[in-house]
Amino acid sequence: MSILNISLREARVTVGRTLWLTGIPLGAAPSARETVIACEAVGLAGFRRLRDDFDLLTESVGRRLALRSDGADVVVDGTGVHAFFAVPGLLDVAALTVARHAHARVRVDGVTRPDLLAVLPHLAQDGLRVDVQFLSPESVEIVAERGAADASPVDAVATQGMPVDADLYWELYRLSDRALTPDSPLSRNHTGRSVFNENGEVIGELGEDWHGEVPASAK
């Protein structure tokens, strides 16, 4: 098996574009992206799950967590939401409950790939300490309180990179390319400030010194 050491930026670009293909709302994509990367960094096979669960992720888009609370005790029905999409919301629920009651106990059922919820302590913001207990393969209890959060695994990736299976990474990279606009004379007309003619040739740069006619396709 060949190993690549990829940068945090490379991981974010590839994972982010792949998630866009699922139809996830763009505002929710960054937190889901960080969840995938953190899962990979702590040994939960985040990249492999992203590839293998692509159809499950697509089906999961549009589903919502259902909550029922009684003070510091919260019960969450995952309604089939994939863990990559559920983790950010569960952290928000834990943080809000701790802010109101100083502690939280969140019971979670019905999440797709619940084993990935083990990443929660690694993504908690400072000031929130999170512990995850697996009551069964399908049921998880999140215990949270005020305190120092665990160190983020993404911090190490930022300075040292992250080793990944080369074949798996390039497979995700090629998949992520589908999120880009296909290359064409028209798409090249919209690249940066350059002005192209219909043959894809640079004929000038937009700015104070440009006095030519902008092709209709570049407007």
Q: Domain tally for the chain? A: 2
What is the 8-class DSSP label of residue 112?
A: B
Residues 141 and 198 in one domain: no
**Same domain, residue pair 98 and 120:** yes
pLDDT of residue 218: 47
Pair 160, 205 in one domain: no
Same domain, yes or no: 54 and 75: yes
- Grade residue 152 by pLDDT with cuts at 50, 70 and 90: confident
Q: Same structural domain for residues 141 and 43?
A: yes
**Looking at the structure, do residues 204 and 138 belong to the same domain, yes or no?**
no
**pLDDT value of residue 155:** 87
Do 79 and 119 lie in one domain? The reply is yes
Q: Is 171 within the bounds of a domain?
A: yes
Distance CA 139, CA 102 (A): 24
Domain limits at 196?
Answer: 185-218
* 100 located within any domain: yes
User: Would you say residue 115 lies in a domain?
Assistant: yes
Domain identity same for 145 and 190: no
What's the pLDDT at 153? 84
Inside any domain, residue 31 = yes
Confidence of residue 214 (pLDDT cuts 50, 70, 90): low
E runs forming strands in 93-217: 103-109, 127-136, 139-147, 162-165, 194-196, 202-205
Residue 80, C-beta contacts closer than 8 angstroms, at least 6 positions apart: 59, 60, 63, 110, 111, 112
The answer to whether residue 49 is domain-embedded is yes
Same domain for 197 and 152, yes or no, is no
Give the CA count within 13 Å in the CB-facing half-sphere of 179: 18
Average pLDDT of the segment spanning 135-141: 96
Tell me: the pLDDT tens digits for 71-125?
Answer: 999 999 999 999 999 999 999 999 999 999 999 999 999 999 999 999 999 999 8
Write out pLDDT tens, residues 15-51: 999 999 999 998 999 999 999 999 999 999 999 999 9
Pairing of strands 103-109, 73-77: parallel
Q: Specify whether 141 is located in the same domain as 210.
A: no
Residues 92 and 122 in one domain: yes
pLDDT for the residue numbered 75: 98
Is 180 a member of any domain?
no
* Residue 205 and residue 159 in one domain: no
